Structure 1
Amino acid sequence: MKAYLLLGVIAMAITFLATPIVRRISLALHVVTPVRERDVHTVPTPRLGGIAMLLGMVGAFLISRQMPYFSQFYADPQVWALIFGSLAITLLGVVDDIYDLTWWTKLSGQILIATAVAWQGIQVISFPVFGITIPSTRMSIMVTVLIIVFAINAVNFVDGLDGLAAGITLIGAGAFFVYSYLRIRLTNAQSYASFAAMIGIVIVGVCLGFLFSNFHPATIFMGDSGSMLLGLTISCMFIVVTGQIDPASIGGSQFLPAAIPLLLPVAVLILPFLDTIMAVIRRVGRGDTPIKPDSQHLHHRLLKMGHSHRRAVLVMYLWALYFSLLAVCLLKLNWLPELLLALGGGVLCLLVTISYLPGLRSYYFTGSYPRHLLEKDEL
């Protein structure tokens, strides 16, 4: 565990130190996010934060290569596939942040990079819950590309408030790290080193280091370079844990623990996934492209309901933590404690979400909604 914590601190420190430097470069190059109608920030803000996150991630990986605990992983092409993919997707994001690429150009680049990552070894081979082994390399690559591209855009879509994408990804990566570490301990392995756990703790460190500058009020945005980087790395972590378990090796007593890697990404990214699906349906229904920006995401709706910027972010953190905790606890808890946790935690999250709505509080005590909310059509 000490080696993991050290690696996470290294990733956090590099990101933390690199972020102000990248911010100055972004300002010098005038790469800033202007105040648009759909935005919630009030001043133009630098948006090349993904470069600092990439430096923290790649720096941590390169340092881990010199650590005996993790050096064994670098004989596997998966590590280099992840590093290559991180570099490529960040470069694509930087170009988009500077030149504002068309949606089809950006999507084409995502598919090309995801294909290269899959071709280099990070592939979904099986779905352990259903006992399905993907019959061909071509189909394996197609499934892998679909998962990576969907995750990239899911994180990108949810990146609409200060610290939102970084915080939700931190929670998700932390849950994956805990699961991966506990699972390898339960197998009584001689070494507790795990590639998936290593990815998870690096992502946690990177997100934490970036949040010092990105939490509201943010002095820098991660931009598409950062959100796409997080989407790619967290999807690769999911694939490493989930898609390479041999279904034949899973007995009845191991069924639920093996199913958790499938539940975790759904639980952790349920808010981005739900937001993405709703956005695609909404935009296609209007006759727009699926990735055309708008101001009707979940975080926009929380703001319109009366939450402040920071409170809306914290509410979404709470829900992400709730779903993540439920999935991880399946590894240790029986069905009854898990059910009680689900009910108790769900009620708590609902109370926190609803009790801080100024419109509902005013209506409960006075019988009418606040005038400023009615005038702004925020209810």
Structure 2
Amino acid sequence: MTGAGVPLRELGLVLLVATAITYLVTGVVRSVLVRTGRVAEVRQRDVHTQPTPSVGGVAMFTGLVCAVLLAAQLPALTRGFAPVTPEMTAVIAGAFAIVVVGIVDDLYELGALAKLAGQFFAALLMAFMGIVFTVFYVPFAGGTTLILDQVQGVALSAIFTVLLINAVNFVDGIDGLAAGLGMIAGSAILVFALTVLHDQGGAVSAYPPAIICAALVGICAGFLPHNFEPARIFMGDSGSMLIGLLLSAASVSASGKINMSLYGAADLVALVSPIIVVIAAIALPVLDLVWAVVRRTARGESPFKADAGHIHHRLLRLGHTHRRTVLVLYMWVSAVAFGAVSFSIVPVRYAAAFTAIALVLAFVATLVPWAKGKIGPQRSVDKQTALL
């Protein structure tokens, strides 16, 4: 290990195993899906033109389970598992439930209410088993700590989890986007967890979010080579909902469980609580989700009705190519997520400067298409506009 109680080598191994297993199993899953004819047909709102295998979430879940099983065998990481804490068991149980729901939806297209019920089941299962909000530290209210009872904690955790599941699911509409955003957001939360582990000398509460994020980053990194444009396989709802659940698990695990009393009032780690970092990391998909609901209800439609009005569709209409659209969104998520994290690890003036520069670069990249006049081989501007 390196650092004050920070098992960097072991977490790195967990990440690499998750990456390798996911990468290899994805190829196997794709081969099976092609042989059995299980491919996603092209819908009007899609940006791909060829039927493509889906259900890539199976490979991602396999990588997750293998990575967690490895972590449980590493002495430096055993503090993150039962009997010390039940959280990793809860994560696997919730992940299994959401992947099953996703597989059924990918293959047979569940109705909106049935899918929502499945999402709440997985979220409640994970909450009841140990991934639950307990307290909130409010740094801007004189160090106030809000203590939640079991009912409040489970309810809030479940709602938060379902929100993130749908946020990632909604943004998964273009090759490589969800996997990349999951990898970036997971990396940001992982950096925060490592900072806490370092500052608190290996606090038990910081182990589960660090392990979850290492595995999350790994499965996204392993799947991305198969999914980046032009995608050879889609993760499907089984994969996108898994990413959302793992982001929620990591954030709930970190939030409210860090001993902020160890930090002074002026310490920026205390001022940037875990939940703020998490909100920053998933700000883009959440905003896209909220705007989608507002947009659809304003038109008198169901908030669950799919359309082509997401952020990535709008960037395509601005003139960005398929790949450039994904890279621009990567820039925005990285700027916001790592900007928030930077306030907890470097002096405020440097963090503010880094965040400002990153946001300006993302803004410029958004407004100035790098391949003007092109939107990729999938759609024309007229067809994209006609869908709205």
Residue 36 of structure 1 and its aligned partner are, at CA, apart by 1.0
Matched-pair contact (CA < 8 Å) for 2:103–2:238: yes
Q: Is 1:320 paired with 2:333?
A: yes
Distance change >3 Å, CA 98–CA 375, structure 1 → 2: closer
RMSD across aligned positions (CA): 2.3
Asked if residue 351 in structure 1 is aligned to residue 364 in structure 2, the reply is yes
After superposition, the C-alpha distances for 1:261-304 in whole angstroms (9 at most, x for unaligned) are 12212211111011000001111112222121101000011011
Q: Structure 1 residues 6 and 375 mapped into 2: Cα distance closer, same or farther (>3 Å)?
A: closer
Q: 2:180 aligns with which of 153, 161, 167?
A: 167
| 2:46 aligned counterpart, secondary structure | coil
**Partners of 1:152 and 1:327 in 2: CA distance:** 22
Q: TM-score, normalised by structure 1?
A: 0.91
| Matched residue count | 368
Gaps spanning 5+ residues in structure 2: where?
1-7, 375-379
Q: Deviations over 1:161-219 (max 9, x none)?
A: 11100001100111111111122112234899722111111111110000110111100
Which of 319, 338, 354 aligns to 1:306? It is 319
1:22 aligns with 2:22: no
Aligned to 1:287: 300
Distance change >3 Å, CA 132–CA 59, structure 1 → 2: same
The answer for the alignment partner of 1:109 in structure 2 is: 118
Which amino acid in 1 is paired with 2:9? K
Provide the C-alpha distance between the structure 2 equivalents of 1:376 and 1:44, rounded to a whole number of angstroms.
19
Q: Which amino acid aligns with 1:47?
A: S
CA contact (8 A) 1:132 1:247 kept: no
2:72 aligned residue (60, 65, 71): 65
Relative to structure 2, which stretch is displaced further, 131-140 or 88-97?
131-140
Query: What corresponds to 2:42 in structure 1?
Result: 35
* Superposed CA offset, 1:17-72 (max 9, x none): 10011112222333222111100001011111000000000111112211111223
Partner of 2:93: 84
SS of the residue aligned with 1:133?
Answer: strand
- Give the drift of 1:376: 7.4
Instruction: Provide the C-alpha distance between the structure 2 equivalents of 1:100 and 1:190, rounded to a whole number of angstroms.
Output: 43
Supply the distance in 2 between the matched residues of 1:82 and 1:278 (Cα, whole angstroms): 29
SS in structure 2 opposite 1:140?
A: helix
Task: Determine whether 1:141 maps to 2:141.
Answer: no
- Residues 344 and 20 (structure 1), Cα distance of their counterparts in 2 relative to 1, 3 Å cut: same
Between the aligned partners of 1:192 and 1:293, the Cα distance in structure 2 is 39
Please state whether the residue corresponding to 1:48 is helix, strand or coil.
coil
Letter in 1 for 2:71: S
Name whichever of 255-264 and 284-293 sits farther off. 255-264
Take 1:174 and 1:4, find their aligned partners in 2: how far apart are those partners? Answer: 12
Cα distance in 1 between the residues matched to 2:112 and 2:235:
19
- Displacement of 1:260 in angstroms is 3.5
Deviations 1:99-155, CA, capped at 9 Å, x for gaps: 100000000111111111111111011121253424421111110001000000000
Q: Is the 8 A contact 1:86 1:233 kept in 2?
A: yes
Q: 1-side partners of 2:236 and 2:289: how far apart?
A: 17
Cα separation, 1, equivalents of 2:318 and 2:110: 32
Output aligned runs, 1:227-306, within 5 Å.
Answer: 227-245=240-258, 251-254=264-267, 256-257=269-270, 259-306=272-319
Distance 1:103 1:235, change over 3 A: same
In 1, Cα distance between equivalents of 2:219 and 2:47: 24
Identity of aligned residues (%): 38
Judge conservation of contact 2:56–2:234 (CA < 8 Å) in 1.
Answer: yes
Q: Could you tell me how far apart the structure 2 residues matched to 1:249 and 1:344 are? A: 32
Question: Does structure 1 residue 335 correspond to structure 2 residue 348?
Answer: yes
More displaced, 30-39 or 181-190?
181-190
Q: In structure 1, which of residues 147, 155, 179 is the aligned counterpart of residue 192 of structure 2?
A: 179
Measured in 1, the distance between the counterparts of 2:100 and 2:205 equals: 34
Q: 1:73 to 1:337 in 2, by over 3 A?
A: closer
Asked if the contact 1:70/1:193 (under 8 Å) is kept, the reply is no
| Whole-angstrom distance in 1 between the partners of 2:371 and 2:204 | 52
Contact 1:69/1:193 (8 A) holds in 2: no
Preserved contact between residue 57 and residue 242 of structure 2 (Cα < 8 Å) = yes
Q: Secondary structure at the match of 1:39?
A: coil
SS of equivalent to 1:101: coil
Q: Are 2:180 and 2:224, in contact at CA under 8 Å, matched by a contact in 1? A: yes
Q: TM-score, normalization: structure 2? A: 0.89
SS class of match (1:288): coil
Distance 2:26 2:272 in 1: 38
Gaps of 5+ in 1: 362-371
Higher alpha-carbon deviation: 60-69 or 87-96: 60-69
